[in-house]
Structure 1
C-alpha cells in the first residue's frame, strides 16, 4: 500500500479514483490540475502519481515533465481517452510508467497501480529481477487487460521459468507466436535464440532438414553440412507453429527427439544432444486430428504437457480500443501518416464487429483505413463496408444509404468479397472449407476468388 496523488480536473473522476484506491488500502491526495499537483509533489513526494492528460493551466504532459526533472524515479500513470493515442505515445516517451485508457475497468486500474508500486519498491530496495511478464508481453506485441488476458499473463508468469513443453491453441490470428515469444523473453533462456518455423509452409524433406540439419551429400542440393533449428537454438526455444500440418513420418522423428533429447542430421550417423525448450502451436483440433489418424496420440501427450488456449478477439471485446489505438500508432509511424486518433463512431463499429480473423484482421483493417483516411482522425467512412454493416432487429445487414445513391453492383461485390475473406479466415484459408461455410460449390468459390483477386498472399501479408 502507498500514498497516491490523483490529478484530474473533473471532480467526479477524482472522487471515483479516491474511493476506489482508498478501498484498496492506499492513502490518497487529490489535485485539480497540474500546477497544484507540482506543488504537492514538491512539498511531499507520493509513492505514485495518477494524472489525466488534458487539464487547464499545467496539463498532464507538463506535470510529467516537471516530475521527471526533480524525481526521475517517481512512478507516473497517465489517464488518456481511448481515441488519443498520440498523447499516450508522447507520455510514454517522456517517461510515464504506464497508462489507463478511458473508459476503463476497475480491475485494469488495480492491475496497473499494483504493477507500478511493485516496480517502485523493487527499485527502492535495489532488487534486480526479471522484467514483469506484462512488460515482456507489451515488448513482444501482446496487448490486452481484459480478465482473460490477465489470466494469460498470470499463467505465463508461472510457466516461464519451467522447461516443460507447451502447446498453444487458438484460432488463426490470435497471436500464438507472440505468446510463445513472450514466454521465451520472460524465461531464463531469454538471452539465447528464439526460433520459429511454420510446419505447414515447408515440404516434408525440407522441413526435416530445417529442424535437424543435414550432412553434405545427403540429398540433391546438400552441398555442405548444415545445422538445423534445434542445434542453432541450443539452450533457447523453438516454436513449431501449425504442428498439426507435420507429416506422419516427421511426427515419429519429433517424438524420438522429445523422448531422448537427441537427434541425427539428415544423412548423418552421429547422435547430437541439445537443450531446447519446445513450444508447439496450432489452430486445429488435435483431439479430432488424432481420431482421424492425422496426428499421433503419443506425440500429442508429449507436446500437450502445459496447454494454453488463446481466446478469440470476440471474447475479449474490452481489449479492442487498446489494441486499435496501439495498432493505429504503429501503422501511422510505419506509413508516416498524420492519423493520430480514432473517432468515437469508428471505435464503436470496431468493438461491435465479430473479428473472425482476430487481431490479424484488426491490424489489416486499421492499416487499410489509415491508407484511405485523409483527415487526422480515423473515421467510420474509411473502414471497409463489411465492417460497417450493422445487423438490424431482424438480423439482416443494414447498409447506410447515402442521399446521392449507391452503385449496387459495386456495393454487392464489396459485401461478397468481405464475406469470402471472413470465410477464409475462419477456415484457415482452405478454399474448400470456406466454400462449404458460404454454401456454394468449390468451383464457384474458386472462380469468385480469382475474379476478386483474393489470394493466400493476403493471409501471409
Structure 2
C-alpha cells in the first residue's frame, strides 16, 4: 500500500497544487480545508495516515495546535509545516516542538518531494517496529516487553508462580530482576501476603544476621528492644534477597538452615520460631563461579536455584524499547501529574539502536533526564545525552539506504529483517532471537520474500 499523506491547507490553489504533485509520484492523498476537518482524520486511528503536511496559519485550528494533536494521537507520524516567509520563526519553533521540517512559500516541487521522502524514510524504522509489534499479543503490564525472550520469561513466570519452589533470578544489573520477582509473587498463592525486598549488598556485614532473623533486646550494642527480622516480616509471603552473592559466608549456613527447617532464631535468643516464607533470590554474578572459588556454598546454591529465571539484557530485545519508552513517559507524567510527553520518531529510532549497557535502568534514567531537560513538550534527539547521540551513525546509515532506494514502510521492514538474517550467517533461529520474533513469524515473512529473492532458499534453520 502506498504512503497516505494528509494535506491541511485552507488555500484552495495551494491545496490543489500539493495534491497534484504528490499524486503524480504515487502517493495517496487526503485533503482537509482546515485544522478541524484534519483533526477528524487524525483522531480516527483506524485510518492510515503516514504524513501530515499542514499550513501554519489557518482559521479555527492553527498549525501549531494541530501539531500538538498529532503528537498526542499519532506520535510516530511526521508533520511538515508550510509557512509564508514572515512566519519562519514560528515554523522553526514548531520543528523544536516535534515537527519534522518546514517549507517556505513559494517552494520548488523538488524541495517538496525531497522533504516528504526524507520525513517518510526518517520515521520508517520506528514504524517497522510498530508493524512487527502489532502481531504480538499484549502482555502483563508489570513485565514490559513483547519480544520473544520476554514472552518466554513471562510464560515461565506464569507457570512457576503458583508453585512454592525457591527461585533464583539471574541477569545483568539494571535488567529488572526485582520486577520479575514481584511478578512471580503476584502470580503465586501468596500474592495477598507481604512481598519483602532487600539488597544484601546494602546491609552492613555486622548487621546482616539481625536484619534477616531479628534480635532480642540487648543482643548487641545499640539493640535497645527486640525486633523481628525480614523472615518474620515476610511470614506467609515472599522474601526477595537481591544480590544474594554478596551474603557473607558466615551467614550462608544459617540461611540454608532456615530454608531446610522453616524456622529462625533471633540473635540473642534460644527459641526457634516457625516461618512460612517463599524465597526468591537474585544475582548479577555468576554464582557457579562463586561456588567454584569458595565464595558461595554449593549446598545453598542448589537450595535457592530450584527454578532459574534468566532476565535478558535490553540490547537483545530492542523491539521492546518503544514499549518501555512509552511506559516510562506515562510513569513520569503520572508522578508529575502532567500530560505524557511524546517523542519524535527519529529519537525513538536512535534509542532503539543504542547498546544500553545499563539495561532498562539506564533507559529509564535517560528518559527521566530527557523529560527534565527537554526544550519543549516533544522529546527530540537534542534532548538525549551525547553518548547516545553519537550512536546515530548506524541509524543514519539505515535511513540513507532506505531513502536512496525509495522504500515503502513494508520494504524497510523487509530490509531490516534480511539484514539481521545476513548478519546471522543465514541462521534463521539466531536471526529470530536477535529480532525478538517467533521462528514461526520469521518463517512466514521469509516465505513472503522468497519470490523476489531465491537466495533465501539456501539459508539455515
TM-score tier, shorter chain, comes to 0.5 to 0.7
Give 2:288's aligned residue: 287
1:392 deviates by 5.6
Give 2:184's aligned residue: 183
Distance (Å, rounded) in 1 between the aligned partners of 2:304 and 2:75: 40
Distance (Å, rounded) in 2 between the aligned partners of 1:274 and 1:339: 44
Q: Deviations over 1:351-380 (max 9, x none)?
A: 111000000000111111111112121000
Give 1:332's aligned residue: 333
Unaligned runs of 5+ in 2: 5-38, 47-72, 78-125, 395-461
Q: Is the 8 A contact 1:82 1:102 kept in 2?
A: no
1:56 deviates by 2.5
Distance (Å, rounded) in 2 between the aligned partners of 1:280 and 1:208: 17
Distance (Å, rounded) in 2 between the aligned partners of 1:147 and 1:81: 26
Q: Deviations over 1:5-29 (max 9, x none)?
A: xxxxx99xxxxxxxxxxxxxxxxxx
Q: Deviations over 1:66-95 (max 9, x none)?
A: xxxxxxxxxxxxxx75649xxxxxxxxxxx
Distance 1:386 1:111, change over 3 A: closer
Q: Deviations over 1:265-295 (max 9, x none)?
A: 1111011111110000010010111121111
Report the structure number with the largest CA radius of gyration. 2
Question: Map of 1:13-24 to 2, 5 A cutoff?
Answer: none
Farther-moved stretch of structure 1 (166-175 vs 290-299): 290-299
1:206 deviates by 1.4
SS of the residue aligned with 1:284? coil
TM-score scaled by structure 2?
0.58
Distance 1:390 1:104, change over 3 A: closer
SS of the residue aligned with 2:182? helix
SS of the residue aligned with 2:282? strand
Give 1:398's aligned residue: none
Q: Is the 8 A contact 1:213 1:226 kept in 2?
A: yes
Give 1:149's aligned residue: 150
Q: Is the 8 A contact 1:81 1:102 kept in 2?
A: no
1:186 deviates by 1.4
Distance (Å, rounded) in 2 between the aligned partners of 1:385 and 1:226: 49
Q: Deviations over 1:209-266 (max 9, x none)?
A: 1111111111111111111111111110000000000000011110111111111011
Distance (Å, rounded) in 2 between the aligned partners of 1:104 and 1:247: 45
Q: Is the 8 A contact 2:168 2:282 kept in 1?
A: yes
Give 1:298's aligned residue: 299
Task: Answer yes or no: is 1:234 the counterpart of 2:228.
Answer: no
Distance (Å, rounded) in 2 between the aligned partners of 1:148 and 1:168: 15
Farther-moved stretch of structure 1 (171-180 vs 320-329): 320-329
Question: Map of 1:403-442 to 2, 5 A cutoff?
Answer: none
Greater length-normalized contact order (CA 8 Å, ≥ 6 residues apart): 2
Task: Answer yes or no: is 1:341 the counterpart of 2:342.
Answer: yes
1:343 deviates by 0.7
Q: Deviations over 1:74-120 (max 9, x none)?
A: xxxxxx75649xxxxxxxxxxxxxxxx954567754553xx7xxxxx
SS of the residue aligned with 2:333? helix
Q: Is the 8 A contact 1:83 1:325 kept in 2?
A: no
SS of the residue aligned with 2:201? coil
Distance (Å, rounded) in 1 between the aligned partners of 2:160 and 2:151: 15
Distance 1:188 1:376, change over 3 A: same
TM-score scaled by structure 1?
0.58
Give 1:264's aligned residue: 265
Give 2:89's aligned residue: none
Distance (Å, rounded) in 1 between the aligned partners of 2:329 and 2:321: 12
Distance 1:261 1:339, change over 3 A: closer
Q: Is the 8 A contact 1:290 1:296 kept in 2?
A: yes
Q: How many residue pairs end up in the alignment?
A: 290
1:305 deviates by 0.6
Give 1:308's aligned residue: 309
Q: Is the 8 A contact 1:339 1:378 kept in 2?
A: no
